[in-house]
Amino acid sequence: MSSSNVLQAEMVYVSYVEEEHSVDVLRGIDLNIDSTNTIAITGASGSGKSTLLHTLGGLMKPTRGEVFLVGEQLSQLSPRGIGIARNQNLGFIYQFHHLLMEFSALENVAMPLLIRGISKNEARERASTMLESVSLSHRLDHKPAQLSGGERQRAAVARALITKPALVLADEPTGNLDSKTAQEIQNLMFELVEAEKLSLLVATHDSAFADQFERHYRLTEGRLSLL
């Protein structure tokens, strides 16, 4: 494995087992992500995009197969170890911002740094700089309910990137926004990912967005095919 390998999936299968039947959602996913790769995954609703992102991000265990995050085999780590590996290497962006409603934009963005044990003052300072880079300097003390949809998503992008993760996983990051705002957030994500030299993996229904990535895969019948 090269030193710049960020994430590797080897023959990943995921089945959801219901009472009497099981649904085989992922059926042999192989994927290699190196530093500075940008990858989009499209697929019909229900094809398994979120399942794949959750599995790659260590939020779900694959039924079979292995995921390596910066060389570490997730199945060999304890739940706490997986949590640490996630905090150190990954940033997540969701369709619905998932910001903590009782905290301000600044506190939300500072949170991953506090989890890392960085001092409160330094965390607030870095969060403030990060919010400036997503054009939210004027909204530091606003809570999510006091922000527009686009502003919330900007804050979510800032929170995902604050730790300078090796890889950002984004599940429909602009699926909930009007097309102009979606475009702005998409451009912002590309700018920040390029500036910080990160890798980006996005699941999206927006094929015009997906076509701007280095690699665009389609997920059908549990397998990825390169478009």
Q: Which does 8 bind (CB under 5 to 8 A by kind): Mg ion, ligand ATP, none?
A: none
Stretch that binds Mg ion, among 18-26, 27-35, 47-55, 117-125 (CB under 5 A): 47-55
Stretch that binds Mg ion, among 15-23, 49-57, 101-109, 148-156 (CB under 5 A): 49-57
Residues 45-70 as b/e (b if ≥16 CB within 10 A, e otherwise) read eebbbbbbbbbbbbebebbebebbbb
Phi, psi of 211 (to 5 degrees): -70, -10
Q: Which does 48 bind (CB under 5 to 8 A by kind): Mg ion, ligand ATP, none?
A: ligand ATP
Q: Which is nearer to Mg ion, 49 or 154 (CB)?
A: 49
Provide the token pair at 39. Answer: 């990858």
Name the site residues for ligand ATP (rule: CB under 6 A).
16, 23, 25, 43, 45-51
Q: Which does 51 bind (CB under 5 to 8 A by kind): Mg ion, ligand ATP, none?
A: ligand ATP
DSSP string, 100-141: -TTS-HHHHHHHHHHHTT--HHHHHHHHHHHHHHTT-GGGTT
Q: Which is nearer to ligand ATP, 16 or 96 (CB)?
A: 16
Query: Using the rule CB under 5 A, which residue among 15, 32, 35, 50 binds Mg ion?
Result: 50
